[in-house]
Amino acid sequence: MLDPQAKALIDLMVERGVPPTHTLTPAEARRFYLERRFFTQPEPPPVAAVRDLAGPVPLRSYRPAGAVSDAVLPVLVYFHGGGWTIGDLDTHDVLCRQLANASGAAVVSVDYRMGPENRFPAALDDCVAAVRWVRHQAAALSIDPARLALGGDSAGGNLAAAAAITLRDDGDPAPRFQLLIYPATDMRALAPSHTTNAQGFLLTADSIAYYRGHYIERHEEWLDWRASPLLAPDLSGLPPALVLTAGFDPLRDEGRQFADALSRAGTTAQYVCFERQIHGFITMGRVIDEANTAVDLCAAALRRALG
């Protein structure tokens, strides 16, 4: 059964004639995504400090409510969702605040380059550069580089997973944890949930093709593990992961497949599916109660992993 609150949201969007993302230009889709957040997202909770940073790309840092200004905190480097095409620091501001407050960790949100203006692998290159910059600036940011996690939702989950593999292969210090929220892990879109959940649950097969087409120019690049981390030849030696999915999401099965692949490779992975939810729900805490449950779950996992 689809969660009644998720169903009510979908029905309202149909009633109001909200245009499907794949019918919009990227500029229009970005504007719609930014404007709609006020309807579905909770009020931004107060935090101790918010600061925009001039890193290799624009970044925004958050320190949790109650944190002393010079306390050295663990940190989550967060990559927003939006199909590598839409989304920014503002669309995920509330979620980053929630995760900071509930986990006790600092959060640094990354405004990576997106398609179609900047195609694959520009977004991944930016995310890896951002992680390295945060480590290098640890003292100035009052964060502990040895207690660093990567995280993201949807396209951001894809980027977090690919960044973890890149950092391992390049010999960088290993992050402590991966928080992968309904991640895209296989650009081929072959998993059964891409058929069973192809239409009617906000993220559709048409929208997936739209996002993928703006990010990746050539079909053969779908097989590159930097785009499809599920296809990486070696998933061993990676940070422990929490993979969270939604039951009515086209990406559900490839998220589970990635968790299983991590486990088979000897990488610690936990998998949780919110069976009655839709893609994107974790930012919708104003209208979907389980979004807040999911945030609390993610924050608890961060607290355990980062200490």
Would you tell me how many other CB atoms lie within 10 Å of the CB of residue 217?
Answer: 12
Q: pLDDT per residue over 204-235, tens digit each?
A: 999 999 999 999 999 999 999 999 999 999 99
Secondary element (H or E) of residue 178? strand 177-181
Q: Which of 155, 29, 30, 137 is nearest to 84 (CA)?
A: 155
Residue 14 burial class via C-beta count within 10 angstroms: exposed 0-12, middle 13-18, buried 19 and up: exposed
Secondary element (H or E) of residue 180? strand 177-181
Q: What is the pTM of this model?
A: 0.98
Q: Which residues, at least 6 apart from 211, have a Cβ–Cβ distance to it below 8 Å?
A: 21, 82, 83, 84, 85, 155
Task: Tell me which fold the domain 4-306 belongs to.
Answer: Rossmann fold (3.40.50)
Q: Which of 17, 30, 45, 18 is nearest to 286 (CA)?
A: 45
Cβ atoms of 295 and 95 within 8 Å: the answer is yes
Would you tell me how many other CB atoms lie within 10 Å of the CB of residue 195?
Answer: 13
Q: What angle do CA 249, 209, 7 make, to 5 degrees?
A: 30
User: Is the previous residue joined to 45 through a cis bond, with omega within 30 degrees of 0?
Assistant: no
DSSP for 217-237, written as a single string:
SSGGGGGSTTT-GGG-S--TT
Would you tell me how many other CB atoms lie within 10 Å of the CB of residue 287?
Answer: 16
Would you tell me how many other CB atoms lie within 10 Å of the CB of residue 279?
Answer: 25
What confidence tier does 85 reach under pLDDT thresholds 50, 70, 90?
Answer: very high
In the chain, % of residues over pLDDT 90: 99
Listing from the earlier edge strand, what are the strands of the sheet with 241-246?
Answer: 49-54, 58-63, 106-110, 73-79, 143-153, 177-181, 241-246, 269-274
Token digits for 172?
């960088």
Q: Which of 52, 132, 139, 162 is nearest to 96 (CA)?
A: 52
Question: What's the confidence (pLDDT) of residue 93?
Answer: 98
Question: What's the confidence (pLDDT) of residue 139?
Answer: 98
Q: What is the mean pLDDT of the chain?
A: 98
Domain ranges of the chain: 4-306
* CA 207 – CA 136 distance, rounded (Å): 37
Selection from 19-23, 68-72, 243-247 with the highest mean pLDDT:
243-247
Positions annotated as catalytic residues are 154, 249, 279
Q: pLDDT per residue over 32-58, tens digit each?
A: 999 989 999 999 999 999 999 999 999
Question: What's the confidence (pLDDT) of residue 254?
Answer: 98
The secondary structure of the chain in percent helix, strand, coil, rounded to multiples of 5, reads 45, 15, 40
Would you tell me how many other CB atoms lie within 10 Å of the CB of residue 44?
Answer: 13
Q: What angle do CA 60, 64, 70 make, to 5 degrees?
A: 85
Question: What's the confidence (pLDDT) of residue 88?
Answer: 98
